[in-house]
Structure 1
Amino acid sequence: MISKNKILIAMQISMLAWSGYTFAADRVYVANEGADSVNVLDAASLKTVDKVHVGKMPHNVQVSPDNKTVWVTNLGANGTHSSGSEHMDMSKDTHSEKMDMGKDSHAGKKEHGEVWVINAENDTVISKIPVGAHPAHVVVTPDGKMAYISNSADNTISVIDAEHLKNLTTINVGKFPHGLRVSPDGKEVYIANMKGGSVSVVDTASNKEVSQIPLGKMPAQVGFSPDGKLVFVSLSGEDAVAVIDTATRKVVKKINVGTVPIQLFGTPDGKSMLVTNQGSKSKPGNTINMIDIASLTVAKTITTGDGAHGVVVDKNGKYAYVTNSFANSVSMIDINERKVVNTLPVDNNPNGISWGSVEVTPK
């Protein structure tokens, strides 16, 4: 028989949920490009606790600084879905062919996309904002006032009023902008231009491009050191990471890493920069390189899963989370132990990933 105490507890939980009670929860959000969905994971167990259906081919996801909203780039509700197509064609193995954008789902016919905004409290879509052609990544400024979206097929950046959820302006940048990040002080946005072989620097006060820094082959994403003095850029066509001094806007070093590096994310203590190595479909990469920021050398290589693509670190710097795009899974890394402690499946072709400590309403 069910005890009276258990019945009472169940009734109390139901009453709290009905009354709009919320509780704090650490969540990981995963954009699944092949499933038109976002998996919501419990950060401790990696178990899927919810799933949000979004627009076609969601590539990137970002939790806002206040942890109240989650932003997702996609091709909109009526976008053209290319079954089995990834953001970058990794079917070839030579550097010249490995990332053939002519076959890229974000580089063919210009499909104007959207950024969808999810209420983190109840995992419901609250806004769908039109942006440019084939949006790739989205970031929100530290003050939560603006969001920036890279439109790969337009060679532009869309600027969104994040408070009122409306378009502000469009900025011309380099060729095929992909990954982007806001500087820790919120004053600049660095954008990796994959086909341009450069990084664009946008001033957030004027919303204008103020510099283009030449780098090398296929820059995919950028990552700031916590003090904002260095920017790390994955060069997917060189199997390397370029390091930029933000004061001089000059490349100070290139670091050899794994095959086809994609995303980067720094630990909050400023000691490490994590880099995913995706590889190609025929020869998948399955590692993370931990770069020591002080010495600018690879300190550790960790095996995750096939197609290591997206990476994020929690606010305490205890765990990193990695999307394994070809394995349809997410791995959890203990940063101090420098090893994978859990891997669980998600939906098809996971790409972007983000972490947040959110207020959740029980369902």
Structure 2
Amino acid sequence: MSYIKRFVMTSLVLAAQLTFAAPIGTLYTANEREGSISQVQLDRGTVRTVKVEVAPHNVQVSPDGRWLLVVGMPQRAGHEGHSTGTGQLLVFRTDALAEPAFVLAAGAHPAHVVTDLAGKRAFVTDSASDLVRVFDLEKRQEVGQIGTGRFPHGLRLSPDGSTLYVADLKADAVSVIDVATLKETARIPVGKAPAQVGFAPDGKQAYVSLSGENKLGLIDTATRRLVTKIAVGRMPIQMYATPDGKQVYVANQGSAKLPDQRVSVIDPASRKVVATINSGKGAHGVVVSNDGAYAFVSNLEDGTVSIIDTATHQVVARPQVGAGPNGISFQQP
């Protein structure tokens, strides 16, 4: 049976009119609880939600804006919120979301995906297999596997494109991977339950969310050592630095029974929380616009995205997306 025959129809919903100077660009969210992805066209104020055949946990737009990469586990009818089978990497053209251009098997439990700077290779964490899987997007096939610590989850590429940092959730460590050789070159002890990593724009610091400690760790990338921890909200997940490196936005998800709704804003220079923003229940994913004017946070329990003015630290809009938004990515035209 072809993918298109199994595909659920696209819905198009007009968002509330945005009352701020929205950036020209598009947001994408992975809506794990309903098996969909949402496309938020910021300058138009529209939200388009497309059903997919996986429970998507993460999304990533390629650097050239051509591809939208989606990873998740397949869903089984009648088992809402649960999935079985082999995970998948779905690759869509950003101008054609009706169905994926191609689909690749992505291991036992794909969690996050990023591409290299050229957008030719994709790196997917396979949490169940303690691997990062490497895919050639031109050949449309898996071309390598890299061993990590236990249960690799979030990963990010360094600004110069040479290195991957991977949060090994059950190893309490961060794996450092050389992109050229596709080998792990270091493993940095960081603390309890690291969920995701990020980088300062100059690449001199890396950040890691310690979801088991309610802290953000700062790593010196030259020495590959954890240098300090900063207390944030409950169960921090994703973080993202502004292009000038002066602020880091940390989304605090909390638990399912007691969700957090705060975003902690950190000044890396002083190593202090300088603002706390009420985003929405279950703040999870974070990305920042290319000009640094706005931060975007997916709110897992509310099914919304908070658009935050980074100058005022105010939420200026909160469009509705699909249920259970996790990963989030921003496309600048």
Q: Does 1:350 align with 2:325?
A: yes
* 1:202-240 Cα deviation digits (max 9, x unpaired): 110110111111111100000100000000000000000
- Retained in 1: the 8 A contact 2:49–2:322? no
Partner of 2:287: 312
Secondary structure (helix, strand or coil) at the match of 2:306 reads strand
Q: Determine if contact 1:263/1:311 at 8 Å carries over to the other structure.
A: yes
**Is 2:120 the counterpart of 1:123?**
no
Which residue number corresponds to residue 6 of structure 1? Answer: none
Distance 1:80 1:233, change over 3 A: farther
**C-alpha displacement of 1:25:** 5.7
What's the CA shift string for 1:30-77, capped at 9, x where partnerless?
A: 1000111101111246530x233223210000000001111000124x
For 1:130 and 1:81, locate their aligned partners in 2 and report how far apart those are by CA, in whole Å.
23
Q: Counterparts of 1:1-363 in structure 2 under 5 Å?
A: 26-44=25-43, 47-48=46-47, 50-76=48-74, 82-84=79-81, 111-124=85-98, 125-358=100-333
- Please, which runs of 5 or more residues in structure 1 have no aligned partner? 1-23, 86-104, 359-363
Output the CA distance in 2 between the equivalents of 1:169 and 1:149. Answer: 11
Code of the residue aligned with 1:217 in structure 2: it is: K
In the TM superposition, residue 79 of structure 1 has moved relative to its aligned partner by: 5.7
| 1:318 CA drift (Å) | 1.0
Deviation at 1:165? 2.4
Q: CA deviation at 1:336?
A: 0.9
Residue identity opposite 1:39 in structure 2 = S
Give, in angstroms, the shift of residue 164 of structure 1.
2.8
Flag the structure with larger Rg: 1
Change (3 A) 1:71 1:188: same
8 A Cα contact 2:87 2:108, kept in partner: yes
Provide the C-alpha distance between the structure 2 equivalents of 1:80 and 1:300, rounded to a whole number of angstroms: 43
Q: Deviations over 1:84-123 (max 9, x none)?
A: 46xxxxxxxxxxxxxxxxxxx7xxx7x4211101101222
Query: Partners of 2:299 and 2:33 in 1: how far apart?
Result: 13
Any idea what SS the aligned residue of 1:346 has?
coil
Report deviation, 1:297. Answer: 1.2
Question: Does structure 1 retain, via aligned residues, the 8 Å contact 2:205–2:221?
Answer: yes
CA–CA separation in structure 1 for the residues paired with 2:253 and 2:45 = 21
Looking at structure 2, the residues matched to 162 and 273 of structure 1 have their Cα atoms a distance apart, in angstroms, of: 31
SS of 1:132's partner is coil
Query: 3-state DSSP class of the match of 1:205?
Result: coil
The answer to whether the 8 Å contact 1:258/1:287 transfers is: yes
Which amino acid in 1 is paired with 2:80?
Answer: S
Contact 1:275/1:288, CA 8 A, preserved across alignment: yes
Contact 2:250-2:264 within 8 A present in 1 as well: yes
Alignment CA distance shift 1:44-1:290 (3 Å)? farther
Instruction: Give the aligned partner of residue 15 of structure 2.
Output: none
Q: 239-248 vs 143-152, which deviates more?
A: 143-152
- Distance change >3 Å, CA 138–CA 220, structure 1 → 2: same
> Are 1:144 and 1:163, in contact at CA under 8 Å, matched by a contact in 2?
no
Residues in 1 aligned to 2:196 and 2:121: alpha-carbon distance in whole angstroms: 20
Of stretches 211-220 and 157-166 in structure 1, the one that deviates more from structure 2 is: 157-166
The 1-side partners of 2:193 and 2:328 are apart by 21
TM-score normalized by the length of structure 1? 0.82
User: Sequence identity, in percent?
Assistant: 44
